[in-house]
Amino acid sequence: MRIGYARVSTLDQNVDLQLKALLASGCERIFSDLGHSGAQRLRPGLTEALEALQPGDTLVIWRLDRLGRSLSHLIDVVNDFGNRGVALYSVTEAIDTGSAGGLLIFHIMGALAEFERGLISERTRAGMAAAKLRGQNIGRPMKLGPGELEATLDGVTRGGLSLADAARRQGISRATLCRALRRRREMLAGNPAISPAGAHPIGL
Protein backbone atom coordinates (compact mmCIF):
# COMPACT_ATOMS: atom_id res chain seq x y z
CA MET A 1 0.00 0.00 0.00
CA ARG A 2 1.10 3.56 -0.72
CA ILE A 3 0.49 5.95 2.15
CA GLY A 4 0.91 9.69 1.56
CA TYR A 5 2.10 12.40 3.88
CA ALA A 6 1.74 16.15 3.29
CA ARG A 7 2.85 19.11 5.39
CA VAL A 8 2.70 22.90 5.33
CA SER A 9 4.44 25.14 7.87
CA THR A 10 1.65 27.71 8.30
CA LEU A 11 -2.12 27.47 8.29
CA ASP A 12 -2.45 29.98 5.45
CA GLN A 13 -0.39 27.81 3.08
CA ASN A 14 -2.24 25.58 0.63
CA VAL A 15 -1.71 21.83 0.77
CA ASP A 16 -3.76 21.05 -2.36
CA LEU A 17 -0.73 20.78 -4.66
CA GLN A 18 0.80 18.12 -2.45
CA LEU A 19 -2.47 16.22 -2.10
CA LYS A 20 -2.96 16.10 -5.88
CA ALA A 21 0.59 14.80 -6.37
CA LEU A 22 0.11 12.14 -3.70
CA LEU A 23 -3.19 10.99 -5.19
CA ALA A 24 -1.63 10.87 -8.65
CA SER A 25 1.12 8.66 -7.20
CA GLY A 26 -1.46 6.08 -6.14
CA CYS A 27 -1.77 6.83 -2.43
CA GLU A 28 -4.72 5.04 -0.81
CA ARG A 29 -4.43 6.90 2.50
CA ILE A 30 -3.06 10.38 3.12
CA PHE A 31 -2.08 12.00 6.40
CA SER A 32 -1.18 15.66 6.80
CA ASP A 33 0.15 18.25 9.21
CA LEU A 34 -1.02 21.84 8.83
CA GLY A 35 0.95 24.57 10.57
CA HIS A 36 3.82 22.35 11.67
CA SER A 37 7.47 23.11 10.99
CA GLY A 38 9.68 20.47 9.40
CA ALA A 39 12.11 20.97 12.26
CA GLN A 40 9.58 19.31 14.57
CA ARG A 41 10.21 15.59 14.62
CA LEU A 42 7.04 14.86 16.55
CA ARG A 43 4.01 15.82 14.46
CA PRO A 44 0.55 14.25 14.87
CA GLY A 45 -0.04 13.58 11.18
CA LEU A 46 3.44 12.14 10.66
CA THR A 47 3.07 9.94 13.75
CA GLU A 48 -0.20 8.53 12.39
CA ALA A 49 1.35 7.92 8.97
CA LEU A 50 4.34 6.10 10.45
CA GLU A 51 2.10 3.97 12.64
CA ALA A 52 -0.07 3.03 9.66
CA LEU A 53 2.88 1.72 7.62
CA GLN A 54 3.21 -2.06 7.37
CA PRO A 55 6.05 -4.16 5.86
CA GLY A 56 5.92 -3.77 2.10
CA ASP A 57 4.24 -0.35 2.24
CA THR A 58 5.66 2.88 0.84
CA LEU A 59 5.44 6.33 2.38
CA VAL A 60 4.98 8.86 -0.42
CA ILE A 61 5.90 12.53 0.06
CA TRP A 62 5.80 15.44 -2.35
CA ARG A 63 9.34 16.56 -1.53
CA LEU A 64 11.98 15.45 0.95
CA ASP A 65 11.73 18.62 3.04
CA ARG A 66 8.04 17.82 3.71
CA LEU A 67 9.24 14.90 5.84
CA GLY A 68 12.07 16.68 7.65
CA ARG A 69 14.33 19.70 7.44
CA SER A 70 17.49 18.06 8.76
CA LEU A 71 19.47 15.45 6.88
CA SER A 72 20.02 13.48 10.07
CA HIS A 73 16.26 13.15 10.56
CA LEU A 74 15.74 11.93 7.00
CA ILE A 75 18.53 9.37 7.33
CA ASP A 76 17.12 8.14 10.64
CA VAL A 77 13.69 7.70 9.05
CA VAL A 78 15.05 5.84 6.02
CA ASN A 79 17.18 3.55 8.22
CA ASP A 80 14.12 2.81 10.38
CA PHE A 81 12.10 2.10 7.24
CA GLY A 82 14.76 -0.34 6.08
CA ASN A 83 14.50 -2.24 9.36
CA ARG A 84 10.70 -2.32 9.06
CA GLY A 85 10.64 -3.33 5.40
CA VAL A 86 9.09 0.00 4.40
CA ALA A 87 10.13 2.26 1.50
CA LEU A 88 10.15 6.03 1.02
CA TYR A 89 9.23 7.66 -2.28
CA SER A 90 9.68 11.38 -3.00
CA VAL A 91 7.70 12.62 -5.99
CA THR A 92 9.76 15.74 -6.76
CA GLU A 93 13.21 14.18 -6.36
CA ALA A 94 12.05 10.85 -7.89
CA ILE A 95 13.82 8.93 -5.11
CA ASP A 96 12.49 5.48 -4.21
CA THR A 97 14.36 3.76 -1.38
CA GLY A 98 12.44 0.61 -2.18
CA SER A 99 14.91 0.02 -5.01
CA ALA A 100 18.64 -0.53 -4.62
CA GLY A 101 19.39 2.37 -6.96
CA GLY A 102 17.06 4.77 -5.16
CA LEU A 103 18.52 3.87 -1.76
CA LEU A 104 22.02 4.38 -3.13
CA ILE A 105 21.13 7.82 -4.50
CA PHE A 106 19.61 8.84 -1.18
CA HIS A 107 22.74 7.90 0.77
CA ILE A 108 24.99 9.54 -1.83
CA MET A 109 22.99 12.75 -1.35
CA GLY A 110 23.50 12.41 2.40
CA ALA A 111 27.23 11.84 2.00
CA LEU A 112 27.58 14.87 -0.29
CA ALA A 113 25.68 17.07 2.15
CA GLU A 114 27.91 15.91 5.00
CA PHE A 115 31.00 16.57 2.87
CA GLU A 116 29.75 20.08 2.08
CA ARG A 117 29.21 20.80 5.78
CA GLY A 118 32.78 19.66 6.45
CA LEU A 119 34.14 22.00 3.77
CA ILE A 120 32.16 24.93 5.17
CA SER A 121 33.48 24.20 8.66
CA GLU A 122 37.07 24.03 7.37
CA ARG A 123 36.69 27.32 5.47
CA THR A 124 35.23 28.97 8.57
CA ARG A 125 38.12 27.82 10.77
CA ALA A 126 40.68 28.90 8.14
CA GLY A 127 39.02 32.33 7.85
CA MET A 128 39.03 32.79 11.63
CA ALA A 129 42.71 31.81 11.84
CA ALA A 130 43.61 34.25 9.04
CA ALA A 131 41.62 37.02 10.75
CA LYS A 132 43.48 36.42 14.01
CA LEU A 133 46.83 36.67 12.20
CA ARG A 134 45.70 40.02 10.80
CA GLY A 135 44.86 41.18 14.31
CA GLN A 136 41.11 41.25 13.78
CA ASN A 137 38.78 40.47 16.66
CA ILE A 138 36.73 37.30 16.38
CA GLY A 139 33.24 37.08 17.78
CA ARG A 140 30.70 39.62 18.90
CA PRO A 141 31.86 43.24 19.09
CA MET A 142 32.60 44.63 22.54
CA LYS A 143 29.70 46.51 24.08
CA LEU A 144 32.07 48.92 25.85
CA GLY A 145 34.58 51.12 24.05
CA PRO A 146 37.99 51.79 25.64
CA GLY A 147 36.87 55.19 26.95
CA GLU A 148 33.66 53.80 28.42
CA LEU A 149 35.54 50.95 30.06
CA GLU A 150 38.04 53.35 31.68
CA ALA A 151 35.21 55.56 32.93
CA THR A 152 33.45 52.51 34.36
CA LEU A 153 36.66 51.38 36.05
CA ASP A 154 37.09 54.83 37.53
CA GLY A 155 33.60 54.68 38.97
CA VAL A 156 34.38 51.32 40.59
CA THR A 157 37.81 52.14 42.01
CA ARG A 158 37.30 55.79 42.93
CA GLY A 159 33.57 56.24 43.08
CA GLY A 160 32.90 53.18 45.20
CA LEU A 161 30.45 51.62 42.74
CA SER A 162 29.92 47.89 42.78
CA LEU A 163 30.49 45.99 39.55
CA ALA A 164 26.73 45.38 39.32
CA ASP A 165 25.94 49.10 39.69
CA ALA A 166 28.64 50.09 37.21
CA ALA A 167 27.33 47.57 34.67
CA ARG A 168 23.77 48.79 35.18
CA ARG A 169 24.81 52.37 34.44
CA GLN A 170 26.29 51.24 31.11
CA GLY A 171 23.21 49.20 30.25
CA ILE A 172 25.08 45.89 30.25
CA SER A 173 25.15 42.84 32.48
CA ARG A 174 27.68 42.29 35.24
CA ALA A 175 29.03 39.27 33.33
CA THR A 176 29.66 41.41 30.24
CA LEU A 177 31.54 43.96 32.32
CA CYS A 178 33.63 41.23 33.96
CA ARG A 179 34.58 39.83 30.55
CA ALA A 180 35.60 43.29 29.34
CA LEU A 181 37.75 43.80 32.44
CA ARG A 182 39.32 40.38 32.04
CA ARG A 183 40.19 41.09 28.39
CA ARG A 184 41.72 44.43 29.45
CA ARG A 185 43.80 42.76 32.13
CA GLU A 186 45.01 40.07 29.71
CA MET A 187 45.91 42.73 27.14
CA LEU A 188 47.95 44.68 29.69
CA ALA A 189 49.68 41.53 30.91
CA GLY A 190 50.52 40.40 27.37
CA ASN A 191 51.86 43.75 26.11
CA PRO A 192 54.90 44.99 28.08
CA ALA A 193 54.89 48.19 26.00
CA ILE A 194 51.78 49.32 27.86
CA SER A 195 52.70 50.84 31.21
CA PRO A 196 50.67 49.38 34.08
CA ALA A 197 51.17 52.58 36.05
CA GLY A 198 47.77 53.92 35.02
CA ALA A 199 46.03 50.62 35.36
CA HIS A 200 43.27 50.49 37.92
CA PRO A 201 44.02 48.02 40.74
CA ILE A 202 40.97 45.88 40.31
CA GLY A 203 41.00 42.12 40.23
CA LEU A 204 38.41 39.66 39.01
Helices 146-157, 163-170: inter-axial angle, 10-degree rounding: 140
Q: Are 38 and 9 in contact (CB under 8 A)?
A: yes
Q: Which residues contact 111 (CB under 8 A, 6 or more apart)?
A: none
Q: What order do you get walking across the sheet with 29-34 strand by strand?
A: 29-34, 2-8, 58-61, 87-90, 95-96
Q: Residue 201, SS3?
A: coil
Q: Which of 9, 70, 90, 99 is catalytic?
A: 9
What's the burial of 195, exposed, middle or buried (CB within 10 Å: 0-12/13-18/19+)? exposed
Sign of CA dihedral 31, 34, 40, 42: negative
Per the rule left: phi > 0, alpha: psi between -120 and 50, beta: everything else, 172 is beta
Distances 172 to 19, 39, 128, 145, 162 between C-alpha atoms, Å: 52, 33, 27, 12, 14
**Is residue 99 among the annotated active site residues?**
no
Q: For residue 103, what is the DSSP state? A: H
| Residues annotated as part of the active site | 9
